[in-house]
Structure 1
Amino acid sequence: MRSMGKTRRMLSVGAGALALAAALAVPAQAHEHRTPGWQMKDTASDARFRGLAAVSRSTAWVAGTKGTVLRTLDGGRTWKNVSPPGAAGLEFRDVEAFDARRAVVLAIGEGEASRVYRTEDGGDTWSESFRNTDPKAFYDCLTFFDPRRGLAMSDPVDGKYRILSTADGGRSWKVLPSQGMPAAEPGEAGFAASGQCLVASGPKDVWLATGGGATGRVLHSGDRGLTWTAAEAGIDAGDPARGVFGLAFRDRTHGIAVGGDYRAGQPSPRAAAVTGDGGRHWDPAATPVAGYRSGVAWLPHTRASALAVGPTGTDVTRDGGRTWTTVDTGSYDTVDCAHDGGCWAAGEQGRVARLTD
C-alpha cells in the first residue's frame, strides 16, 4: 500500500478525535453506529509508512522508508521490526497481509529497485520473489483478490501500464500480455503514495488509478488484469503532481476515488469522486474532501461510511462519498480497515494510529 510516478513519486490527536466521534456517532442506520477516534500507537520508528495492511483490531503490518516493515499482534501496544535483511536501501510502499504470518511487500523505484518480498512466518524470514530487470519499469502498487491470486502494476512501459500476476500467493510472478491494456496518456503514471493505486474487490475485478496526464483516470479490469477499460475520474490532473491517488471499493460496483495535488500549499478543489457502476462513470463529490488525500477506506459493515486521509487531515463521509467532513488534522498517508472493524492509519515520522470506539 511510495514515491510518485517517476518525478513525483518522492513526495501530522485530541480535539480531532472528538470531532471524528461526533461526525460518526449518529448515522442513518443503526448498524452503522460508530463513535471512533484516532488513537496513536508508538512504533519507535521515524520511517514514513505508506504501506499498511489491517488484518484485525489486534494485528497490522506497516511498510515504509529505509526498508522498514513492522508488525503488531496486540493492537499497537508493541511492534516487532520484521524488515527483510539487506533491505535498508529500499522504499517499501505497499504491503498486503493475509494474516499474522503471511504478507507480501513491494519496494518501488527505477529498475532493480522495484522488488517483491514474501514471508510465511511473520517476517522471521523473507524470500525475494520478484526483481524488476526492465530499466523502463517502475512498480507502484500491488493487490490481491484472495490469498493466491494477485497483481502488481508498473508505470507505463512502451506506452502501456505493465501488469504482473501471481497465482501462488506471491511466490512467483509473470508479466501479463499488454494487448488488452489501453494506451496511457502523455505524462500519465501511477502514484506510489498509499498502496491504493491498484485495488481489487471480489474474485476478478480490479481498478488502477492514474494521474499526471490531461485527466485523472481510473482503469478497470473484470478478468484479473487481462483486459481493461478507462474512464475519467472527475479529479483534476493535468500536472505531474495531480491526479487520482487512492481507490476503495465496497463491492464490485460502489467505489470512491481520492487525490488532488500532493504539493504542500497547492489547492485541490476537486479531490474526491464516486462511482455506482463499477467505475464506468465517476461523479465528483458534491462536497469534496478538504484537500489532497492519498488514502481512503470503507468502514466495515456499513453501506455508506468511509474515511479519507492525507497530510492535512482525515475526512469522513456517511453518504457513500458524495459529501465529506473534515474531522481530524493529523497527518496520515494511508488507511485500511479489517473485517472485524479494526481500522488503522499510517504516515510520516513513524505515525500509526488505530480507530477506537
Structure 2
Amino acid sequence: MKRSLIIAALVVVGSAALPGAASATGHPPTVSWRLSTTGTEAQFRGLSAVSDRVAWASGTGGTVLRTTNGGREWQRSTPPGTEKLELRDVEAFDSRTAVVLSIGPGDQSRIFRTGDGGTTWTEAFRNAEPTAFYDCLAFFDRDHGLALSDPVDGKFRILSTSDGGRSWRPNPSDRVPAALEGEFAFAASGQCVTTSGPRDAWIATGGGAKARVFHSSDRGRSWTVSDTVLASGASAGVFATAFRDRRTGIAVGGDYGKPDTAVDALATTRDGGKTWQKPSTAPTGYRSGVTWHPFLPGAAIAVGPSGSDYTLDSGRHWRQFDTGSFDTVDCAADGACWASGTKGRIAKLHLGH
C-alpha cells in the first residue's frame, strides 16, 4: 500500500465530508471496513497492526491469530495453559515477534512472548499478587514496555521490561498518585496504557468519581494525573487513549452499560493530558478503541460496539462510517488500519469509491 495513494484517498474523503463536496468522478468516496474470514468465534480485544500484510489479534479461549498476507489467511496459536484465559492485549514487532497478556485476578494475569510467529511461546511473567489484575500493555520500542494492573494497596501497579518482553519487573509505587475509591482500568481494547515516542506513556481510568488520565515522561517511573471531561462510574470512564505526539491526544470511553448512548464519551488534549476538552461533535455511542492515522496529522479512527467513526481535525468533529461492532483499532506505520472485536470479527480499512 503506497503512502501517496493513502494520503490522496484521505484527502478526498475529507473533502467529501464538507457539505456539497463531491469527488472528481462524481461518486462519493467511501471509508469502510473489509472483513476477513478468521474461522473462529473468539472475541478479539487485543490487536497489533504491523503492516498492510501483517497483523496479530488476541482474544478469548487463549486464541492468538496472525496474518502475513493481508488477512486472506490466519494462523492460530495458543500460549501454553491459556485455553481458559482471555488474552486481552497483544503487541507485535514484526511477523515473528509478539507479546501477549492474559487478564484476571492472581495468577490468571500472565505475559507470554514468541519469536517464531507463534509456533512456540515462552511465559515471561505470572502474577503472584492475589489482588493484582493486569489489564493491558504497551511498548515504547522493541525493547522497552509497560504492563498495567488495577490498583494494589491503593495505587496502580506497573511492570516494565527492557528486553523486549522477555522479563518484567515492578516499578516502584512511591511516585504513582493514589487511586480514587473504586478506580480501575478497563481491559476492553488493549489501550488502557499507551505510549508515544521513547519516554511518554498514559494510563486511562474509570470506575471512580472522576475519569482520569495518568501521564509519565520517564518510561513509567513517575506519574502525574489529571481529571478528564468523560463520564465515570462503575461501567464508565476513559477506556482508551491515543497520542499522535507527546502533546496531542484523544481519549475515548463512555458507559459500556449504555453502548448506544454517547454522554461525555470523547475528549481531546493539546497539552499531553493536563487538560481535556469536549469535541464539537462526538460519536453516537460508547467507544472502546482509538488510533491515529500515521500520514495525516488530524486523522484518527474510533471504534466501539455501535460503530466506527473518523475525524480529520484532531478530534473536534467526527463522522460515523460503519455500524458494525469492533472493540479495538490500530494503524501500522505503512498506513494500513485494522479493527477487531466480537465473534471473530477482524477487518482492514478500505479507502476508495
Is TM > 0.5 for Structure 1 vs Structure 2? yes
Separation in 2 of the partners of 1:323 and 1:293? 15
Which structure has the larger Rg?
A: 2
Aligned equivalent of 1:175, options 170, 186, 197: 170
Name the counterpart of 1:54. Answer: 49
**1:41 deviation in Å?**
0.4
- The aligned counterpart of 1:288 is 282
Identify the residue that residue 328 of structure 1 maps to in structure 2: 322
Query: CA shift at 1:288, angstroms?
Result: 1.5
- The alignment-based identity, stated in percent, is 57
Counterpart CA distance in 2 for 1:260 and 1:282 is: 15
Q: What amino acid does structure 2 have at the position aligned with 1:281? A: T
1:140 partner SS: strand
Match of 1:240 in 2: 234
Name 1:352's counterpart in structure 2: 346
Matched with 2:250 is 256
Which structure's relative contact order is higher, taking Cα pairs within 8 Å and 6+ residues apart? 1
- Does residue 311 (structure 1) correspond to residue 305 (structure 2)? The answer is yes
Aligned-residue offset at 1:26: 4.5
- SS where residue 343 of structure 2 aligns? coil
Q: For 1:314 and 1:221, how far apart are their aligned partners in 2?
A: 29
1:1-357 map, 5 Å: 23-24=13-14, 26=16, 36-237=31-232, 239-264=233-258, 267-357=261-351
Does structure 2 conserve the Cα–Cα contact (< 8 Å) formed by 1:288 and 1:323? yes
Paired with 1:43 and 1:180, the residues of 2 have a C-alpha distance of 43
1:105–1:118 Cα contact (<8 Å) kept = yes
Letter of the structure 2 residue corresponding to residue 141 of structure 1: C
Cα deviation per residue 1:176-203 (whole Å; 9 max; x = unaligned)? 0001100000000000000000000001
CA positional deviation for 1:287:
1.1
Tell me, in whole angstroms, the C-alpha distance in 2 between the residues paired with 1:248 and 1:324: 16
Q: Give the drift of 1:332.
A: 0.2
1:21, 1:35 within 8 Å by CA — same for their partners in 2?
no
Cross-structure match for 1:11: none
Contact preservation (8 Å) 1:290, 1:315: no
Aligned residue pairs, count: 332
Amino acid in structure 2 at the alignment position of 1:37: S
Structure 1 gaps, min length 5:
1-19, 29-33
CA contact (8 A) 2:186 2:205 kept: yes
- Given residue 280 of structure 1, which amino acid in structure 2 is its aligned partner? K
Residues in 1 aligned to 2:14 and 2:78: alpha-carbon distance in whole angstroms: 36
Deviations 1:63-107, CA, capped at 9 Å, x for gaps: 000000000001000000022133211100000000000000000
- On the 8 A contact 2:326/2:341 being kept in 1, the answer is yes
One-letter identity of the residue aligned with 2:270: G
Q: Is the 8 A contact 1:27 1:318 kept in 2?
A: no
For structure 2, which runs of at least 5 residues remain unmatched after alignment? 1-9, 19-28
Give the aligned residue type for 2:343: Q
Partners of 2:120 and 2:211 lie apart in 1 by 39
Shift of 1:215: 0.9
Q: Deviations over 1:308-329 (max 9, x none)?
A: 0000000111110111111110
1:290 deviation in Å? Answer: 1.0
Letter in 1 for 2:129: D
Assess, with a 3 A threshold, how the Cα gap between structure 1 residues 268 and 81 changes in structure 2: closer, same or farther: same
Post-superposition Cα deviations, 1:24-48, rounded to whole Å, max 9, x if no partner, equal: 46479xxxxx853210100001000
Helix, strand or coil: the match of 2:61? helix
Provide the rounded CA distance (Å) in 2 between the counterparts of 1:268 and 1:241.
Answer: 13
Secondary structure at 1:66 match in 2: helix
